[in-house]
Structure 1
Amino acid sequence: MTRTIRTAAVIGAGTIGLSWTALFAAHGLTVRVSDPREDLAEAVTEALARYAPHLAARGLDVTDLADRVHIAADVTEAARDADVVQENGPERAGFKKDLFATLAREAPDHALLLSSSSAIPSTAFTGELSDGDAARVLIGHPFNPPHLVPLVEVVPGERTGEEAVRATVDFYASVGRTPVVERKEIAGFVGNRLQNALSREAVYLVEQGVVTPEDLDKVMTNSLGLRWATVGPFLGSHLGGGPGGYRHLVEHIGMSMQHTGAGPGTPPRNEEEQERLIRAVEKAYGSSTYSELTETRDRRQLAVLAALDSADKEEN
Structure 2
Amino acid sequence: MSGQEKALKTLAVVGCGVIGNGWAARALAAGLDVRAWDPDPAAGERLYAAIDTAWPALQRRGLAEGASRDRLHFTTDLEQALEGADLVQENAPERLELKQTLLARLDAELPTSVPIGSSTSGIKPGELRAKCQRAPQRVLVAHPFNPVYLLPLVELVGGEQGADAALQKAETCYRQLGMRPLRVRREIEGHIADRLMEALWREALHLVNDGVATTEEVDAAVVYGAGLRWSLMGTFLTFHLAGGEGGMRHMLEQFGPALQLPWTRLQAPELTPELIERVAEGCEFQAAGRPVAELEARRDRFLTELLAVVERYWPEAEGLEGRI
TM-score interval, normalised by the smaller of the two chains: 0.7 to 0.9
Partner of 1:90: 93
Partner of 2:12: 9
Residues 174-226 of structure 1: CA distance to partner in whole angstroms, max 9, x if unpaired? 11111100011111111111111001111111212222221111111110111
**What is the deviation of 1:93?**
1.0
- Candidates 233, 237, 240, aligned match of 2:239: 237
Residues 20-57 of structure 1: CA distance to partner in whole angstroms, max 9, x if unpaired? 00111111211100002222332222122111111111
Matched to 1:44, the amino acid is L
Matches of 1:63 and 1:45, distance apart in 2: 18
The structure-2 alpha-carbon separation of the partners of 1:256 and 1:193, relative to structure 1 and needing over 3 Å to count, comes to same
Structure 1: stretches of 5+ with no match in the other structure: 266-302, 308-316
Partner of 2:120: 117
The structure-2 alpha-carbon separation of the partners of 1:2 and 1:124, relative to structure 1 and needing over 3 Å to count, comes to farther
Structure 1 residues 17-166: aligned runs within 5 Å: 17-61=20-64, 65-130=68-133, 133-166=135-168
1:48–1:65: 8 Å Cα contact kept in structure 2?
Answer: no
Matches of 1:104 and 1:259, distance apart in 2: 49
- Candidates 218, 228, 237, aligned match of 1:216: 218
RMSD in angstroms over aligned alpha carbons? 2.1
Matches of 2:65 and 2:50, distance apart in 1: 13
**What is the deviation of 1:110?**
1.2
Partner of 1:194: 196
Please state whether the residue corresponding to 1:99 is helix, strand or coil. Answer: helix
Structure 2: stretches of 5+ with no match in the other structure: 268-304, 310-324
Identity of aligned residues (%): 39
Partner of 1:277: none
Partner of 2:293: none
Matches of 1:214 and 1:40, distance apart in 2: 34
The structure-2 alpha-carbon separation of the partners of 1:169 and 1:64, relative to structure 1 and needing over 3 Å to count, comes to closer
TM-score (norm 2): 0.78
Runs of 4+ in 1 over 6 A off after TM superposition: none
Partner of 1:170: 172
**What is the deviation of 1:242?**
0.8
Aligned length: 268
Please state whether the residue corresponding to 2:36 is helix, strand or coil. Answer: strand
TM-score (norm 1): 0.80
Please state whether the residue corresponding to 2:240 is helix, strand or coil. Answer: helix
**What is the deviation of 1:61?**
4.2
Structure 1 residues 245-260: aligned runs within 5 Å: 245-260=247-262
